[in-house]
Amino acid sequence: MKLRTRLVAFAFIAASVLSLSIVKTTAAADLSDEQLGRIKSNCLSIKGSLNQLHATDALLRVNRGQIYEAIGTKLMSNFNARLSNNSLDNKGLVAVTQSYQTAQVTFRDDYRIYEQQLSAALRIDCTKEPAALHEAIESAREKRDIVHADVLRLNQFIDDYRLAVNDFMLNFDRVTGKS
Amino acid sequence: MDDNTTPQPDNETLGFWDQHRFMLLIAGTIVIAFILVSVSLVIYNVSGSAQLDLSRPGLKSVSGKVDRTNVVTDYSAFGPVTKDTVKTFTDAYDAQAKKAKAVDAFNGDPLNPDVLEFADPTASAE
């Protein structure tokens, strides 16, 4: 009975190790020898491009982040507070602001994950580990797409808030009896 | 006259910890400083502050290009709500919204193997 249990445990571990190695081999197998050779020979130019992208994206993150932060804290939140202080209905605006702030947090986190992945790719020696570099770049590419989706979502919430302000003004005009 | 001065212990009667108090103080200070620096570095990396730090190596070329011209004035949370005050808000908001959407940030595919020039030529030929 004990032997049987041990055999099952061994088979389970062996299967796990084997499947892991197959997954790794498949990822590496996606690359042809020619591609591996190209990565090695273009190593310097690839690293240069990655370094440049790293710097421009960092600048973009800082500049975009400042604008998103200003819109959220200096404009949206304060406008909502002013409506609230005047006992006016601001539920729609508050809902959009909360979604916007959540999207901002997601954007910050996703950018951090992307930047860490790109930095990890930059640390790889492409002359010795071309397959690892390829894998790291592919991963960074996916993460950058996620960051782009976050930016589009934030822009959408900026538009939504503006529409909510228009709705508020329509109601406000109706309530105050102005045309 | 009272002569009850406490006798001072000589070095031989002092224990190990008492004899090395100064060294322990130095060692303890170094250990505490090391722990605090480690915690700070973890927070620096995990919080996302590192991503905003353009003074890091490799980012110095862009550190002078941060937009410092965009000064946004806080919209006051206090005061009446009138058409004029709402217009003041919408003007400021529209200006910032325009700036936010002026650039389609993080678009494109600069990490594409084709762009980085290591794509499989047979794959592109197909």
Higher confidence at residue A35 or residue B82?
A: B82
- Residue A38 falls inside a structural domain: no
Q: What is the pLDDT of residues A92-118, one digit of tens each?
A: 999 999 999 999 999 999 999 999 999
Show the tokens assigned to A140: 């960074």
**Residue A82 forms part of a structural domain:** no
Whether A52 is covered by a domain: the verdict is no
Residue B19 confidence class, pLDDT cut points 50, 70, 90: confident
Residue A32, sorted as left (phi over 0), alpha (psi -120 to 50) or beta, turns out to be beta
pLDDT digits (tens, 9 = 90+) for B43-88: 998 888 998 999 988 888 898 888 888 888 899 999 999 989 999 9
A159/B contact by beta carbon, under 8 A: yes
Distance from CA of B21 to the nearest CA of A (A): 44
**B25 interfaces chain A, CB cutoff of 8 Å:** no
A140 interfaces chain B, CB cutoff of 8 Å: yes
In a domain, A97, yes or no: yes
Length of chain A: 179
pLDDT at A68 over 90: yes
C-alpha to C-alpha distances, B3 to A10, B7, B8, B9, B10, nearest whole angstrom? 82, 11, 14, 17, 20
Q: Give the count of Cβ contacts less than 8 A between chain A and B.
A: 155
Q: Is residue A55 part of a domain?
A: no
Place of tokens 């003004």: A169
Q: What is the DSSP letter of B47?
A: S
Q: Which of A63, A64, A161 to mutate to test the interface with B (most CBs of B within 10 A)?
A: A63
- pLDDT tier, A16 (very low <50, low <70, confident <90, very high otherwise): low
B67, B89, B106 ranked by CB distance to A66: nearest: B67
Entry pTM: 0.79
Residue A145 in tokens? 């797409």
A115 in B contact zone (CB under 8 Å) = yes
ipTM for the predicted complex: 0.77
Whether residue A47 lies inside any domain: the answer is: no
For chain A, the domain total comes to 1
A135 within some domain: yes
Asked if B57 reaches chain A (Cβ–Cβ under 8 Å), the answer is no
Nearest to B118 by CA among A27, A8, A2, A32: A32
Does a structural domain hold residue A123? Answer: yes
Domain of residue A98, residue span: 90-172
